Every structure is written in C-alpha cells, then in structure tokens.
C-alpha cells in the first residue's frame, strides 16, 4: 500500500518531489534508535502470540470449532457486521465529504468531530442502547403518543442479524473516516486541486469523483483496514448491542480464551486465528475490487459537466452528528436522573447524587497512564517515520489489524516471564503496542507528503538532519503531530483488555470501571463513568485543536 | 483421693485446653504481626456500588486496626481470575502472585481446589471462626468440601422480584411459572447461561422437575445425564416460545433483568440476595411497589467464600482481612439492608441483642417471607447444564 501512497492517480495531481532521502554514507545512530524502539514495543509480542495461538495448530481443535453449534451463525453475523459497518461508514463519509467539502458545513462538521472521535465506543454504544432499546427514549416517546403502558416487544438491540451493531459501528467509524479525510484534505496539495479543477471548468461532483476520491481512497487504505479489523474483533460493543444466541465470533473467542478448560481455550485460540484469516481474505478481496474499479474508470473523457452552483449552509454540518448528540444527551440525563421509570420521557427528579458519590480515581489513573504512553510513543513515532524503513512499514500496523484479545494475552505472558506484570511499566508498555501504530497511522500521510525540499534546504544551509527536523520539519507538521498525540492518548484511555491483563486488574481506569459497572444495573453510575470516559480524550482533542490554532495564529500556511 | 484425682484431671484437661488456645493465640499474633504493612489485592466482582462501598469501609478498618492495606481489584468474572492464577502457576510463578485473596464459590472454587491453586487450610483457625454457624453449609461449597481452603463470607438464596402493580399473585413453583409465562407472553426470561444467575435458575427448575432429586448431590454422570435432565429441556421447550423475545435472546445478567423489570419490559426478575430488592427500591432503581418472593417448596441457596491463592504475596494480610470480614461487627454491618443486606454466616445466638436486631431488619422490596433453602447441586452439574443449554439454545 505504501507504493500507491506515492502514485498520484489523477493527472492533475500537484505532488511535490518526494523521493526518500538516501543516506548511504552512514547508518546513523538515529536509524538504529528508530528500529530499536520498534523492536522494543512490538517484537516481544511475537513469542507471546505464538504461545497463545499454539493450541490452535491442531486439527482436532479446528474440527471442534467448526462443529460447534454456535460457529456458523457467529461467523455470519461477524462477517455481516464487519463488512456492513466498514462499507456503510466509507460510503457515508464519502457522501458527507462530497456534500459538504469545501464549505461552511464542512467547517462546522470539523469543529464537532473531536467530540465524537473522543466519544469512546463503549460509551457511545451505551448511549445508543439507552436510545433505541424497547424501554429507551424512542419507545418512551411513542408510548406517550400511543398510550402504551409497557415497553413494546420490538427487537431493536441485540437483534439476531446484528443490524443495530452494524449501524452503530458504522456511525462511529464514519466520524473516524471523516476525520482521516479532513486530515488528508487539509494538505495543501489536495486543496489546491479543487481550485485548479474548478478553474478548468469541472463541477464539484466531477472534481470529487475523478480527482479527489481516487487520491483519497488509496491513502485511506490502512485506516479502512483498521476499521475493518476493529469491527471484526470488537468485543465490548458487541456485548452491548450485538446478538447473543450466538454472539459474534470475537465475543465467543473472548469467552473461550478466558475459560479455565484447556480444550475450550484452544477453541478460543482457533477462533482468534480465524478472525485474522478472515481479515486477510477481506483485504485481498477489497484490493481486487479496487483494482477492478480503477480499470473501469481509467480514461477521463475531459468533458466538463458544469453542474449547478452548490452552496451548503453551515447547518448542514449538524445532521452528521445527530445520533452522537442524542447519545451524549441521554448519558448526561441519566447521570443526573433520580427515579425514572417507563414510560416517562423525563426523570421524576434531577439530582447530582451520582456525581457527588462518583469515583474520580479511575480518571486520574487513565490520565497519567495515557500521558506517559503518549510521551514515550511520540519520539518513537517521529524517529520511525524519519529514519525507519519506509518499505517495511506495513507490519507495524499488525496490532491494529489483529484481534486485541490474543495480543493482550500474549503481552501478559511476556510480562509474566519478565516479572513485570501488575506494574505501571508493564501497563504502559502494553498500551504502546496500540498507541504507537495508531500515531504512526495518523501521522504517516502528512509526514510522507511533506515537501522534503524544505529539509534539503535546511541541510544545505548547514543544519544537521536532526536539527533540521527539530527546527523546520516537525514545527511545520505541528498540526498532524498534535492530532496524532491526541489520538494516541484516546487510544490509551480506551484500552480495556491490556489494562486488565498486564495490570493484573490493579489499575482501575475509566474504561475498566465502565465495563465492570456495565455488569451492574445502575444506569446512573454507568452514565457518570461513560461521561468521564468521554471527557478525557475529548479534553485531549480540544487541547490539540487549541494548541494548533495558537501555534499557527500568525502562519497562514500551517492553518 | 478420688476428688483429688478428679481435680487433677480437670486441671490437666483445662491446662491442655489453655495451652491449645495459647498456642493458637500465639500463632495468630504472629500472623497479625507479619501482616503489618502488607498490601492485599482482593479480587472481587465489582458490579455493585453497595458491595464496593462495603469493601471500602472494611479496608479502611483493617488499615486502621491492623495496618493492612487492602486494594479492591474489581473483576467481572471470577473465572478470569482462576485462569490468571492457573497461568501464573504454569509460568512458574510460585510466589509473589498477583492475587492475594478472591471472592469465590462453586465451580470456580472447585477449579482452584482440583488444580492445587489454593493456600491453606487456614479458614477454621481464624479467631472469628468461633462465631460461624456451622449448621449452615459453610464446610461444603456446591457439595465440594472446603477443607478450610476458603472462609465463608455470606449466604445467598435465589429470590424472585416482581412489581405489585403488575403481578398481584406471583408464581410459586416451576409449573406455576410456566402458566404465568403463558398468560403473559414475552414478559418472562432469565439471564443467559453460563451467567451465574441463569445457571442457578436452571438448577432451580431441575431440582423441582427431576425425578430423583438425590442424584443432584452426586457428581454428574455423563451417561445418564441426558435421561435425568430430560424434564428440564422439555420444560424449557415449552417456556421459550412464550418467553421474552420468544427465547431467541436472553438478558446478559440479572442486573439487566432488574432494569427491564423497572421498565416493565419483564414482569419477573431474580437475585441471589434476598435483600437486593429492598436495595434497588432504596436507590430508585425499582419502583416502591416492587417486592420479593420465593417458591413454596424452597429455592436454591448457597454460601459464598473468600480464598487465598497458593502464590499470594500477602497471605498473612489476607487472613487478617478475612478474619475481620468474618467478625460479628463486619458481618452485622454487611447484613444491614441500608449498607449491603447480604445475609450473615454467623450464628445469631452468639451475638448481642442489638446485633441480632440488624439481622431482622426488613425494608420494602426485600424478602419478608420465610423460604426454605434447597442445597446446591454438585459443582459438576454446572458445566454439564451449561454445555447442554448452549448446545440446545445457544444458536437460534
């Protein structure tokens, strides 16, 4: 995929000269450092993973898996929810971008994005469940209109076809893809193309379809794989919204892997391996599909279709986020609700009782773990992107495209042997496995598209490579770097399995707390922890935006 | 002469008794001394703020009195902790394990015991053991002998909850429950096994439907299981078509059932704590018209325990904490429905009048009738029932 990154598909691309610098003279210390950092974070997982997956290399285990009564149905709902949510989110994000970019609506949408990127999957799923469950807000509204006295017997969450799970994941991932698009569109090279193409007489729609999307989509390859991998292996959301008889494959795998029985565990390993194989097949399939689409639309005719003047108003940036705002609203309402029974639309009383008795310890724990993780990931990320190998880049994303459960189990095994389990170092290291690749993922596009002539000039003027990066390159990339840091922080905060495994359960963060509480029944306390879980990454994203704005206040080109 | 001999004998006996207690005291003093400054990582289900609040109180007390730090590690499933201890053993971690004490019973205890993952025996040498009501099944955990490897903490009994406004006359047996479900289609369900409460519900049904209930006290026999459990599956085949979502989906746990009861989506909920209904009413999670009830012929009850893993780092600290949890003061507070409402394992007659009064406290929503306690089937039934249930109803 790295090759396609540097292959301008469109004829009007204005990609700057972007050859990787060749430094044949010396294998610099920095380069070794970049590789050492990666080795330290990712390599130890390999033996751990072997240990976790070893039981799956046995035909009896596969036979037991395939003949298990739950397997076939679980496979179908896993595939349908993963493929469905990935395709839906890609379509939705593309349509929204076509509709809104460039314009005031896009700007408004971008201003709201951080809120919903920061909205953790679990909290969003809980909010959606509060909305659409048979006793949720929607049903309460209808009940008041139609004078129902008890909730309807509709099947709106945990439906057997995983429709509610698919749609909820699609909405959540649409925001993620929109944000990736926004980062890509923010680059000078691309935004200038619209002006250029418009001046050549192409309509907005034509510009998008024949110039922008063909450039954006290949570069969104890895983010899309991450979305697909996430939806294939998601456990927490699937438990809240997914089917239960049987659950999705990832949930079954999780249940089996934590079972004390050896054969059941082996089946869990096999199911985890199965998820990886599925992902591989789907990626191959998607690549083939893309190749075919590219062939189909190879020759631009050059015919200009003027199209009508298309002006969106700022308000059109709002509907994209309606589900998000509603989910957020009902979480806030539940966090301050007193008694609230069906079919009342509003709580009988409002009180701050749940907030006064809330435990803020988990928030602080998540905060320092997240900050430490990002502070270690950042130099690793920059070193890797600057001095690491561009060719051997794909395997860095392995943690993002593998189900997190076997990796977390693998990490735990490694830590156990090093006598580092249940320590802060162990937990932070286990988070690095995800924050580091995510930060690389966010930064890689802008980084490789950086016009390296700046760096050349700086070096020609006598700066060392490192100094040129420190003084010129990294400050110019401040916006994506800050974005990457906030994503890294959000990723760290959201980690459930690694925190639990590597921390021996001793590090209670907002996420472990929310999941532990979701086993209890108090919607108020659950709502409070969900809001706290949302607040942390949200503040990080806000900070990134404010810092970017402040930093670029007198530099037009950085905005 | 005779008298003198007798006196000497009495003295001798008293003397040995004294030295026995003196030795026990000395031993315990040593444990307390060693426990000073230790940190006990207590792994317990963390899904209820009442329970978490109670453990916090107990932790603060042992810190104050014995200088033992207790850190509550909130878990969602004790099975995961069993797995962790097992993994530690396989990795050769025989000391300095990550778990110092855990809340456990039933099949998880059995897994710990049969795999040699427990420290002990220690439970019956705790000073607080003297208050324990040994008539309660505190030495057997799901028909598995505890052998002093775990100390009792509280008792539990399957209890149903309903709302007076919608259910005036609750079902009082398995058969009545089926009738009730038929009359109220889509409003009855139970947590999906292998959830703890769901499996208990199955055991409750089986104990009523099985032809020879004595079989339940024995380890399950693989060959006759299909025949013996047949009435249960026939019952469920009739129940599911009239159950919530036609038995094609089930609530994940009983907490979700409480929520659905509050919403009116279900008409019955169930719990293992006879006072949970009262708690939920007090916290406005159930309407004030909610009430608890049991079956006429009794419901399944058991004891829950705390155990110390073989590789625990703070074994002494854990024993000091367990001893405190078993003390009359802690047990009475635990039984208080305004705190937690978990019934005590102590013998009420060994306590003061005021302490006994707390046990008899009642509150709206809680169980106010006497319900017979049926003993748990042998731990091996759990796995057999869960596996068969998943095979039959896990995928539809």
Mean pLDDT computed over every residue of chain B? 90
**Domain assignment present for A104:** yes
pLDDT > 70 in chain B, percent: 95
Ranges of residues in chain A with a pLDDT under 50 are 1-25
Most A CBs within 10 A among B246, B255, B259, B289, hence the mutation to make, goes to B255
To the question of domain B36-154+304-359 being in CATH 2.60.40.1120, the answer is no
**Do A44 and A90 fall into the same domain?**
no
Q: Give the whole-angstrom CA distance, residue A74 versus residue A270.
A: 14
Mean pLDDT computed over every residue of chain A? 84
In the prediction, which pLDDT does A395 show?
78
CATH of B159-301+371-393, one of 3.40.190.10, 2.10.109.10, 1.10.238.10, 3.30.70.20: 3.40.190.10
Looking at residue B151, what DSSP letter applies?
E
In the prediction, which pLDDT does A16 show?
40
Structure tokens at A210: 């024949």
CB-facing half-sphere around the CA of A411: CA atoms within 13 A: 29
Tell me which of A261, A293, A325 is where a domain ends.
A293
Distance of CA B257 to the CA centre of its chain: 19
Q: What is the DSSP string of B9-67?
A: HHHHHHHHHHHHHHHHHHHHHHHHHHHTT-EEEEEEE---HHHHHHHHHHHHHHHHHH-
Q: Rounded to 5, what percent of chain A is helix, strand, coil?
A: 70, 0, 25
In the prediction, which pLDDT does A514 show?
80
**Do A243 and A374 fall into the same domain?**
no
| CA dihedral sign of residues B157, B158, B162, B164 | negative
A126 versus B233: the higher-pLDDT residue is B233
User: Which position has the token pair 């703020």?
Assistant: B49
Domain ranges of chain B: 36-154+304-359, 159-301+371-393
A74 interfaces chain B, CB cutoff of 8 Å: yes
**Do A266 and A158 fall into the same domain?**
yes
In the prediction, which pLDDT does A287 show?
92
**Do A456 and A483 fall into the same domain?**
yes
In the prediction, which pLDDT does A308 show?
63
Q: What are the chain A neighbours of B43 within 8 Å (beta carbons)?
A: 505
Q: Give the whole-angstrom CA distance, residue A167 versus residue B199.
A: 32
Q: Give the whole-angstrom CA distance, residue A411 versus residue A418.
A: 11
Looking at residue B73, what DSSP letter applies?
E
**Do A50 and A79 fall into the same domain?**
no
**Domain assignment present for A114:** yes
**Domain assignment present for A40:** yes
Domains B36-154+304-359 and B159-301+371-393 share a fold: yes
**Do A366 and A289 fall into the same domain?**
no
**Do A51 and A79 fall into the same domain?**
no
Dump pLDDT digits (tens) for A312-349. 677 777 888 899 999 999 999 999 988 788 888 888 88
CATH number, residue A111: 1.10.3720.10
Q: What are the chain A neighbours of B262 within 8 Å (beta carbons)?
A: 341-342
A318 interfaces chain B, CB cutoff of 8 Å: no
In the prediction, which pLDDT does A333 show?
92
Q: What are the chain A neighbours of B284 within 8 Å (beta carbons)?
A: 338-340
In the prediction, which pLDDT does A12 show?
31
CA distance A518 to chain B (A): 7
Tell me which of A270, A293, A316 is where a domain ends.
A293
Q: Give the whole-angstrom CA distance, residue A485 versus residue A477.
A: 12
Supply the range of the domain harboring residue A256: 72-293
Q: Do A258 and B45 touch (CB under 8 A)?
A: no
Dump pLDDT digits (tens) for B44-97. 987 777 898 999 999 999 999 999 999 999 887 788 899 889 889 988 899 999
| Mean pLDDT on B118-132 | 94
Tell me which of A293, A324, A344 is where a domain ends.
A293
Q: Do B91 and A416 touch (CB under 8 A)?
A: yes
Looking at residue B303, what DSSP letter applies?
E
Q: Is A151 helix (H, G, I), strand (E, B) or coil?
A: coil
In the prediction, which pLDDT does A215 show?
84
The domain total for chain A is 2
Q: Measured between CB atoms, which of B48, B79, B263 is closest to A151?
A: B263
**Do A287 and A138 fall into the same domain?**
yes
Q: What are the chain A neighbours of B394 within 8 Å (beta carbons)?
A: 69-70, 245-246
Dump pLDDT digits (tens) for B130-180. 999 998 889 999 888 999 999 999 999 999 999 999 999 999 999 999 999
In the prediction, which pLDDT does B7 show?
61
Q: Do B264 and A134 touch (CB under 8 A)?
A: no
Say if strands B290-293 and B39-45 run parallel, antiparallel, or are unpaired. Answer: unpaired
CB-facing half-sphere around the CA of A4: CA atoms within 13 A: 16
Q: Give the whole-angstrom CA distance, residue A397 versus residue A393.
A: 8
């Amino acid at each position: 995929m790295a090759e396609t990154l540097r292959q301008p598909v469109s004829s009007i691309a204005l990609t700057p000269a972007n050859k990787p610098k060749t430094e044949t003279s010396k294998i610099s210390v920095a380069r070794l450092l970049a590789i050492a950092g990666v080795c330290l974070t990712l390599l130890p997982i390999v033996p751990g993973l072997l240990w976790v997956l070893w039981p799956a290399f046995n035909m009896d285990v596969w036979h037991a898996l395939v003949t298990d009564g739950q397997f076939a149905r679980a496979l179908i709902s896993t595939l349908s929810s993963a493929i469905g949510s990935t395709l839906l989110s890609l379509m939705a994000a593309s349509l929204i971008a076509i509709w809104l970019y460039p314009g005031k609506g896009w700007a408004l949408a971008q201003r709201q994005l951080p809120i919903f990127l920061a909205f953790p999957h679990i909290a969003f799923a809980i909010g959606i469940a509060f909305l659409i469950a048979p006793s949720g807000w929607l049903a309460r509204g209808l009940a008041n209109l139609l004078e129902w006295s008890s909730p309807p017997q509709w099947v709106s969450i945990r439906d057997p076809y995983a429709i509610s799970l698919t749609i909820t994941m699609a909405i959540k991932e649409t925001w993620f893809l929109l944000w990736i698009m926004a980062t890509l569109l923010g680059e000078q090279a691309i935004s200038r193309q619209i002006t250029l193409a418009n001046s050549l007489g192409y309509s907005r729609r034509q510009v998008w379809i024949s110039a922008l999307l063909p450039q954006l989509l290949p570069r969104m390859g890895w983010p899309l794989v991450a979305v697909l991998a996430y939806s294939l292996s998601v456990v927490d959301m699937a438990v809240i919204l997914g089917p239960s008889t049987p659950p999705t494959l990832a949930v079954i795998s999780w249940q089996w892997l934590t079972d004390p029985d050896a054969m059941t565990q082996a089946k869990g390993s096999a199911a985890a391996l199965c998820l990886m194989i599925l992902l591989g097949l789907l990626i191959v399939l998607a690549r083939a599909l893309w190749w075919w689409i590219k062939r189909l639309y190879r020759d631009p005719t050059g015919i200009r279709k003027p199209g009508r003047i298309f002006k969106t108003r700022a308000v059109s940036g709002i509907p994209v986020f309606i589900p998000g705002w509603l989910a957020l609203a009902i979480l806030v309402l539940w966090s301050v609700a007193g008694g609230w029974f069906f079919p009342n639309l509003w709580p009988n009383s409002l009180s701050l009782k749940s907030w006064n008795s809330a435990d803020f310890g988990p928030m602080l724990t998540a905060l320092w773990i997240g900050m430490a993780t990002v502070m270690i990931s950042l130099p690793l990320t920059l070193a890797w992107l600057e001095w690491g190998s561009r060719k051997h880049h794909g395997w860095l994303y392995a943690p993002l495209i593998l189900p997190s459960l076997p990796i977390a189990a693998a990490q735990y095994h490694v830590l156990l042997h090093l006598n580092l389990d249940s320590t802060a170092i162990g937990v932070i290291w286990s988070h690095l496995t995800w924050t580091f690749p995510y930060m690389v993922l966010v930064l890689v596009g802008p980084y490789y598209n950086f016009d390296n002539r700046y760096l050349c000039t700086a070096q020609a003027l006598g700066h060392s490579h490192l100094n040129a990066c420190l003084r010129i390159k990294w400050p110019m990339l401040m916006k994506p770097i800050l974005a990457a840091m906030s994503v890294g922080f959000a990723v760290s905060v959201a980690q459930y399995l690694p925190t639990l495994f590597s921390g021996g359960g001793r590090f209670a963060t907002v996420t472990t707390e929310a999941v532990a509480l979701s086993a209890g029944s108090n919607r108020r306390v659950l709502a409070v922890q969900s809001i706290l879980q949302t607040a942390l990454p949200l503040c990080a994203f806000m900070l990134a935006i404010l810092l970017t704005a402040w930093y670029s206040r007198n530099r037009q080109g950085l905005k | 002469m005779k008298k003198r001999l007798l006196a000497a004998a009495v003295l001798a006996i008293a003397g040995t008794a004294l030295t026995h207690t003196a030795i026990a005291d000395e031993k315990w003093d040593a444990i307390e001394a060693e426990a000073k400054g230790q940190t006990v990582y207590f792994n317990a289900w963390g899904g209820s703020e009442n329970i978490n609040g109670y453990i916090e109180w107990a932790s603060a007390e042992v810190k104050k009195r014995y200088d033992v730090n207790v850190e509550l590690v909130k878990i969602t499933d004790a099975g995961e902790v069993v797995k962790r201890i097992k993994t530690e053993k396989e990795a050769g971690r025989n000391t300095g394990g990550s778990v110092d004490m855990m809340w456990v019973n039933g099949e998880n205890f059995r897994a710990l015991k049969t795999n040699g993952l427990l420290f002990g025996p220690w439970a019956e040498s705790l000073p607080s053991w003297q208050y324990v009501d040994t008539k309660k099944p505190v030495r057997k955990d799901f028909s598995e002998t505890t052998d002093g490897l775990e100390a009792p903490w509280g008792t539990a009994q399957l209890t149903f909850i309903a709302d007076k406004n919608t259910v005036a006359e609750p079902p009082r047996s398995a058969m009545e429950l089926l009738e009730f479900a038929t009359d109220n289609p889509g409003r009855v369900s139970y947590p999906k096994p292998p959830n703890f409460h769901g499996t208990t519900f199955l055991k409750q049904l089986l104990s009523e439907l099985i032809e020879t209930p004595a079989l339940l006290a024995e380890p399950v026999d693989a060959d006759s299981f299909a025949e013996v459990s047949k009435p249960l599956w026939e019952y469920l085949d009739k129940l599911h078509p009239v159950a919530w979502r036609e038995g094609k989906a089930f609530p994940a746990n009983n907490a979700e059932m409480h929520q659905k009861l509050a919403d009116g989506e279900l008409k019955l909920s169930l719990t293992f704590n006879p006072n949970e209904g009262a708690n939920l009413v007090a916290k406005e999670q159930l309407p004030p018209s909610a009430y608890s009830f049991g079956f006429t012929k009794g419901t399944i009850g058991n004891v829950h325990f705390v155990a110390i893993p073989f590789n625990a780092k703070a074994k002494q600290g854990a024993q000091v904490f367990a001893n405190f949890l078993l003390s009359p003061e802690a047990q009475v507070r635990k039984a208080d429905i305004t705190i937690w409402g978990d019934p005590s394992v102590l013998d009420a007659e060994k306590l003061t009048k005021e302490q006994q009064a707390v046990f008899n406290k009642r509150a709206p929503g809680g169980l106010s009738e006497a319900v017979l306690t049926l003993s748990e089937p042998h731990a091996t039934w759990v796995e057999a029932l869960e596996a068969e249930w998943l095979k039959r109803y896990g995928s539809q």
